[in-house]
A and B are shown apart, each in its own frame.
Chain A
Amino acid sequence: MPRCVILLILLFLWVPLKAQDWDIWGYGKYLGSRITGYLPQEDALVDHQLHLRLNSRWYLSPRGTLAMEWRLRAFYGDLPGKLPGFKSYVVSSYPLTDMAWTLADEGSLFAYAQMDRFFWDYAADDWQVTIGRQRVAWGTTLVWNVSDLYNPQSILDFDYEERPGSDVLRFQYFTGPASRWEVVMQPAGKKRQRSLSLMGAFNRWNYDFYLIMAWQREKPVLAGAFSGDIAGAGFRGEFKASGHPRPVDLEETYLPGFVNLSDGRGADVQMTLSLDYTFANSLYLHGEILYNSIGVRENTALLAFQAQKAGLLSAARYSLFAETAYQWHPLVRLDLFTLFNPDDRSYILAPSVSWSAATNLDVYLIGLLGQGNRLSEFGAMGRASYLRLKYSF
């Protein structure tokens, strides 16, 4: 197992030599799941996952930092053997190199390690340069970040709280305490995976504003976002306009003879608006809407993978989100959210409880209950329940 050896060496190299120059932290998690109605031939899929995250920083100088973050996950249960494409689904793929190593792959067991942050950062007074696998987190809304050109992700992937990174060169120039220019360049072997973006951020009238111009997937992109408040309520929004996707953008998910997201012409325009309010008694209300001009109004489930390939957050024309949460006890928070497709009337209902069981031990229970017919957006998702234990160190 030479790969394991390399991995161990890397891990040892990474052990702090001098405490003040290093920082290391992370967490261990257990995630148990039970899914029904997802694979037609199976009654219930039961799975267990152990997950270790190791984050490290090496402070090379007062201004320079080297960062490395590992994700080690082991799956045991029904999904590794029974879900086609399971491995490509759980291991994040990157255009340049995945930096992922399979540790075990035997029947119902699958384990791998992946580095999802690996960057060097240099911060001068009014500029900063960051090179390597990092997260470029653009966007202001809380569910659908359409202006997040680099790491858009579905809210349903609740267990990847850090979200994947991107292999980019990033330069930031700060023009004030809440304003900056940012240039991000993503190199890649294939031309259509390369991108170049310019982002300007500024603050006026107690609002944050972002404007983005980019060249991505060989097409121009214009995007923007804002964040502020109306009468105490959080008010956020984003938009993105880009060229129409072509069949090649959808890669192997293109379905000849079916309606595809690349059909039609004109720009692809996506917009989100979000409102949230917290009452004095801790009751929290949050609503969000997503509009996607090339999204479809029927048979949405068929195009779910296409949407992913095209960098869309949903294949649907309209998506609605509503959430309420309440601090039932200082250590216990109750949450209920729903995702609703107004065209095919399918929805997901997601009740959850989070409990701070001890200082660094969190217990989380969530259900993702899909409802709708088989071709609707959420009907094909089945009903899943998860139990998660997380210990932070």
Chain B
Amino acid sequence: MKPIKVAFLLLLGCVTAGLAQNATEIIRKSDELMRANSSISELSMKIIKPEWTREMRMKVWALEPDFTLVLITAPARDKGTVTLKRKQEVWNYLPSVRRTIKIPPSMMLQGWMGSDFTNDDLVRQSSIVVDYEHKLAGMEKLDGYDCYKIEMIPKPEAGVVWGKVLIWITRKGFMQLKAEYYDEDAVLVKTMRGSDIRKLGGRTFPTRWAMIPNDKPGQRTVLIYHDIRFNPKIKSSFFSLQNMKRLRP
């Protein structure tokens, strides 16, 4: 009966696979910075609106490309809820009733409390290398870092919703600090900002990502990595219905 709202969070697991010498080579190196065959991470999602904010904290286990397990650890009202994805199938576990519910595909497209991240952001980023034509548009200094500014135009067959994406990647370390998403009329729709550069799990990268819609002042969604392990040993059998019920928040 209750709306099942966490299914899309599964897709977060794919983020670790996703965030991306010529322009294409720079994009490729940037893409590899966050790529891993497996990961275990702890992160928060903050939804910030002019009148209210909500925050959710979770632990995510991912084994590319097919398996993700998300355990919500805060807030108290959702704590202990688990979502499991195995290939195309998704289940939710509701600890209060000790019940596992299979989630149909139509329900997986729902966001969480009006987040500004869409599935496209969370899944499609893995294709920033192959789905776009890349052109170096210049060098700019951003947050004290020398950055490549690269213009990305989607290939017609890629089915990307954007008309153009501008992306700023640091010369040293190939970190994505900023991306601007334009629609087909070249109007800026939203901006992604990476910040709080730290070393986590042996890699240095922006641990805080904010997605800021252009037409909604005071609104943004922020993802913060608290901890991450790249390429830990996890077997696919870890992603099972029985393990969903055994995770300790």
Contact = CB atoms under 8 A, between A and B. Distances in A.
Contacts of B237: 177
Contacts of A78: none
B27 to A, nearest CB: 30
Contacts of B156: none
A236 B89 CA distance: 15
Contact of B76 (A232, A235, A331, A392): A392
Contacts of B99: 135, 137
Q: Which of B1, B75, B97, B248 has the most CB of A within 10 A?
A: B1
A227 B104 CA distance: 9
Interface string A201-244: 00100101000000000000000000111001111100000000
A177 B102 contact: no
Given A143-B1, A359-B55, A360-B75, A232 B96 contact: no
A282 B115 CA distance: 13
Contacts of A208: 102
B54 interface: yes
A358 B101 CA distance: 27
Interface string B172-192: 000000000000000000000
Interface in A377-393: 390, 392-393
A90 interface: no
Contact of B104 (A59, A235, A282): A235
Given A135-B98, A162-B97, A277 B106 contact: yes
Contacts of B107: 234, 276, 278
Given A162-B97, A163-B97, A331-B52, A277 B1 contact: no
Interface in A337-385: 337, 356, 359-360, 362
A54 interface: no
Given A163-B97, A177-B239, A330-B114, A359 B75 contact: yes
Interface string B65-78: 00000000001110
A164 to B, nearest CB: 11
B211 to A, nearest CB: 15
A89 interface: no
A134 B75 contact: no
Contacts of B98: 134-135, 137
A60 interface: no
A237 B246 CA distance: 27
B169 to A, nearest CB: 32
Contact of A276 (B77, B104, B110): B104
B104 A229 contact: yes
A330 B52 CA distance: 10
Interface in A112-152: 123, 128, 134-135, 137, 140, 142-143
B240 interface: yes
B97 A234 contact: no
A141 to B, nearest CB: 10
B76 A23 contact: no
A232 B55 CA distance: 29
Interface in B192-239: 236-237, 239
Contact of B240 (A23, A137, A174): A174
A39 B89 CA distance: 48
Contacts of B100: 137
A356 B54 contact: yes
Contacts of B106: 229, 232-234, 277-279
B77 A227 contact: no
Contacts of B113: 330-331, 356
Contact of B47 (A142, A232, A234, A330): A330
B144 interface: no
Contacts of A135: 97-99
Interface string A246-285: 0000000000000000000000000000001111101010
A276 B237 CA distance: 30
Contact of A360 (B76, B96, B101): B76
Given A174-B242, A177-B240, A155 B1 contact: yes
B52 A178 contact: no
Contact of A393 (B76, B86, B246): B76
Contact of A284 (B3, B52, B103, B242): B3
B247 to A, nearest CB: 11
A57 B241 CA distance: 20
Interface string B1-14: 10100000000000
A243 B148 CA distance: 75
B110 A282 contact: yes
A234 B89 contact: no
A178 B99 CA distance: 14
A333 interface: yes
Closest CB pairs A-B (n = 8): A330-B114, A234-B104, A177-B240, A232-B106, A137-B99, A392-B77, A392-B76, A229-B104
Interface of A: 23, 25, 27, 57, 59, 123, 128, 134-135, 137, 140, 142-143, 155, 161-163, 172, 174, 176-178, 180, 203, 206, 208, 227-229, 232-236, 276-280, 282, 284, 323, 325, 327, 330-331, 333, 337, 356, 359-360, 362, 390, 392-393
20 contacts: A25-B76, A123-B242, A135-B97, A142-B101, A172-B242, A174-B242, A178-B86, A180-B241, A227-B101, A233-B104, A277-B106, A278-B104, A280-B109, A282-B110, A284-B3, A323-B1, A325-B3, A330-B114, A337-B1, A392-B75
Given A178-B89, A232-B104, A392-B75, 4 more contacts: A23-B248, A137-B98, A140-B102, A282-B110
